[in-house]
Every structure is written in C-alpha cells, then in structure tokens.
Amino acid sequence: MKKIGLLFIACAVVFSSFSQEKHESNKDKKLPVVQLKTMTGELVNTSELTANGPVIISFWATWCAPCKRELNTISDVYDDWKDEFGVTLVAVSIDDEKTKGQVPTYVNGRAWDYLVVMDPNSDFKRAMGVNNVPHTFLVDKDGVIVYSHNNYTPGDEDLLYQELVKLKQK
C-alpha cells in the first residue's frame, strides 16, 4: 500500500512538473480527436470540424432545458454570426439510446441550421472534460480552444459574441 502511494507521488510530481513546463511554453488546448456520427450516421472526425474556419462546439441533450434555451437563442442570430465571422456551430448531442431518436425530431422541429453530431456514449464529452451540459467551446481555425463556458443563463450568448469579435481581430 505504501509503495503504491510512493509511486503515485513520484508519478504525480514528474507529471505535474512536465505539465507546468509545457503550459508555460504554450497555453493552447487543442481539440481532441474523436470519431463521431452525424444524425444520418455519417462518420465525422472532430479534427475535420475546423476545416472551414472557427467553430462553436456546444454540448446539449434533448432533456436539458438550459441547453435548448441556449441553442434556440443562438439559432435566431446564427445567420448573422455565420456572415460576420464565418463561424459554424456544432451541436453535440449527448443523448443516449433512450432519447437519441428524438434528436432529429427536435433539431428539425425547431428548424436549427447547425451541424448536429451524436455522442451517445459521451466519448467526446469525456475527451473535452465536460462535467455537465450545457457546455460551450469556441475553437479557432487551427483547432485551439480559445474560450469555454459551462452553464447557460440568458445573455451568455453575448459573451460568446464578444469572444467571436476578439477572435476576428486576432
């Protein structure tokens, strides 16, 4: 038992020193590579998402009320954002098999124009370090995560807008 403890400490020390050194040199957090599917079953690799410019990645579920509030709000201004920033929104549904079938029903029922991808076993959610939904990320065209926000209250979309402005000015 003692040995295990020692090993962990050693492991942690080396690990943390390494991470510090790395983070000082570059604070960038890159988009992890995960294989996902669209609503129609087409395979999508997360590394392909930023091919056409920056992306907003928003984790949601059909049973998550604030998530739907956020995405419905952005939906109203999405066309403007696309024109202004060339940004795409990827709505990552973490609905599992129980409610997965309701995703296209809701997405089209609410006339969303987003790229919707399915994460039924939360592989992408885990890789992105998401605790709970809604959680929204802004990723630049090089795949670097420049902004992330947990939770949604009305008006948070303005913060995201400001981040888009900042990104454009870079």
Partner 1 sequence: MRKLSIICSLLLLSTTTYSQLERGNFTGNLETTFQYLNKDSLIGATQPPSKALLNSYMNVYYTHGNFRGGLRFESYLPRIQGYPTNFQGTGLGMRYVGYANHFIDATVGNFYEQFGAGLTLRAYEDRALGYDNMLDGVRVKLMPFRGIVVKGVYGLQRLGFNGGITHSSGVVRGGDAEFNLSQIFPKIAEKEVDFMIGGSFVSKFQEDNDDLLILPQNVATYGGRMALNYKGFTLNGEYVVKGQDPSQDNGFIYNPGFATVINAGYSRKGLGILFSAKSVDNMSFRSDRTKVLQVGLINYLPALNKTHTYNLVASLYPYATQPTGEVAFQGDIVYTIPKGSKIGGKYGTTISLNASTAFRPKRTPNLNYPGDSTGVAYSTSPFRMSDSLYWLDINASIYRKFTKNFSASLSYFHLALNNNVAAVTKQPGVIRSNTFVFEFLYKFKKQSSLRAELQVMLVNRIDSLNNRVPFNTKGAKPTDHGDWATLMVEYAINSHWMINVMDQYNFGNPKKSSRAHHPYITVAYVTGPTRVSVGYGRQRAGMFCVGGVCRYVPASNGLTLSVTHSF
Q: List residues binding partner 1 (CB under 8 A).
A: 3-4, 7-8, 10-11, 14-15, 18-19, 21-23, 25-26, 29-30, 32-33, 35, 40-43, 62-65, 69, 76, 96-99, 101-102, 104-111, 120-123, 126-132, 135, 147-151, 153-156, 158-159
Query: Which is closer to partner 1, CB of 117 or CB of 130?
Result: 130
What is the Cα–Cα distance from 57 to 91, expressed in whole angstroms?
6
**What's the token pair of residue 164?**
């888009």
What is the Cα–Cα distance from 53 to 57, expressed in whole angstroms?
13
Min dist. Cβ of residue 167 to partner 1 (A): 15
Min dist. Cβ of residue 168 to partner 1 (A): 20
Min dist. Cβ of residue 69 to partner 1 (A): 7
Please provide residue 142's backbone torsions phi and psi, each rounded to the nearest 5 degrees: -90, 5
Query: Can you spell out the DSSP letters for 105-128?
Result: HHHHHTT--SEEEE-TT-HHHHHT
